Amino acid sequence: MNLVLPKTTLLALDPGETTGVVEVFKGELIRAYTVSYDKIFDSVANEGEPAGRWAHEYPLWVIEDFRVYPWANLGFDPVRTARLIGVLQVAAQRGNVKVEYQMAGLAKQMVRSDLLRQLGWFHRLKGTHTKDAARHAVCYMLRQLAKEGRKV
């Protein structure tokens, strides 16, 4: 199978204590890295790096969504991931950036490691968080192809 992704430019984020980030330009993986929770908070508060650059360079952000399920016993968990998603929403709104949310399960189901290998992305993704961010990017683009009626 020779999959050609659409020429989409986007930023994909797997938010958490360590946030996985994937930058995609015209369907090609440009950068994959992680950023700390505190660095993202500081950059949004100060409108600096990296959130300021992201908003300037990427018109679309695909962010893993977060849900608190009634059966999950989180105790006194401060739900830092949910807080981080809120901060990313603020940064996106300031930068007039479109945001798409995806649940983790959707991306993991649609984009397995063998597909990341086929695309030539896998070897550039260091750690779980960048792999998950890449899954969100590819998942978004695959769904975009399907909406256009192109075979996935």
Q: What is the pTM of this model?
A: 0.89
Peptide bond into 70 cis (omega under 30): no
pLDDT tens digits, residue range 44-68?
988 888 999 999 999 999 999 977 6
pLDDT of residue 149: 73
The CB density around residue 92, as the number of other CB atoms within 10 Å, is 21
- Length of the chain in terms of residues written: 152
Q: Residue ranges of the chain with pLDDT lower than 70?
A: 1, 68-78, 151-152
Which region, left, alpha or beta, applies to residue 27 given φ > 0 means left and ψ of -120 to 50 means alpha? left
